Amino acid sequence: MSEPDLVTLHPGPDDYVHTFGTRPPLTTVRPGTIVELTTEDCFGGAVRGFGDLPSQVCVFPYLNPVTGPIAVAGAEPGDTLAVHFVEITPARDWGVSSTFPHFGALTATHTTAMLHPPLEERVWLYEIDVATGVCRFRARTGDFTVDLPLDPMHGTVGVAPAAGETLMSITPGAHGGNLDTPEMRAGTTAYFRVNVEGALLAIGDGHARQGEGEVCGTAVETAMRTVVVVDLIKGGGPAWPRLESDGHLISTGSARPLEDAFRISQHDLVGWTRDLLGLDELDAYQLVSQAGLAPAANVCDTNYTMVAKLPKRLLGPVRAYDGMHEHLRAVGAAYLHRR
By C-beta, is 110 or 337 nearer to a second copy?
A: 110
Binding mask 33-72 for a second copy (x = CB under 8 A): ---------------------------xx-----------
44/149 Cα distance (integer angstroms): 24
Amino acid identity of residue 333, one-letter, is A
Q: Nearest approach, Cβ of 17 to a second copy (angstroms)? A: 9
Region 11-30 residues binding a second copy, contact defined as CB under 8 A: 18-19, 21-22
The least CB distance from residue 310 to a second copy, in Å, is: 9
Asked if 141 touches a second copy (CB under 8 A), the answer is yes
Task: Report the chain's C-alpha Rg in angstroms.
Answer: 19
Q: How far apart are CA 173 and CA 30, in angstroms?
A: 26
Q: Does 140 bind a second copy (CB under 8 A)?
A: yes
Task: Note whether 197 binds a second copy by CB under 8 A.
Answer: no
Angle at 142 between CA 139 and CA 143, to 5 degrees: 75
Neighbours of 10 (CB within 10 A): 11
Q: Which is nearer to a second copy, 205 or 231 (CB)?
A: 205
Does 336 sit near a second copy (CB under 8 A)? no
Nearer residue to a second copy within complex by CB, 48 or 256: 256
Element (H, E) at 88: strand 80-90
Contact between 73 and a second copy by CB under 8 A: the answer reads no
Q: Is 114 in the site for a second copy (CB under 8 A)?
A: yes
Q: How many CB atoms lie within 10 A of CB 143?
A: 6
Phi, psi torsion values for 142, nearest 5 degrees:
85, -175
DSSP state at residue 40? -
**How far apart (Å, rounded) are the C-alpha atoms in residues 82 and 155?**
17
| Of residues 5 and 259, the one with the C-beta less far from a second copy | 259
Site for a second copy in 258-277 (CB under 8 A): 258-260, 262-264, 266-268, 270, 277
223 touches a second copy by CB under 8 A: no
259 phi/psi in degrees, rounded to 5: -65, -25
Residues 286-325 interacting with a second copy (rule: CB under 8 A) = 286-296, 299, 304, 306, 308, 314, 316
Q: Which is nearer to a second copy, 3 or 147 (CB)?
A: 147
CA distance 148 to 128: 10
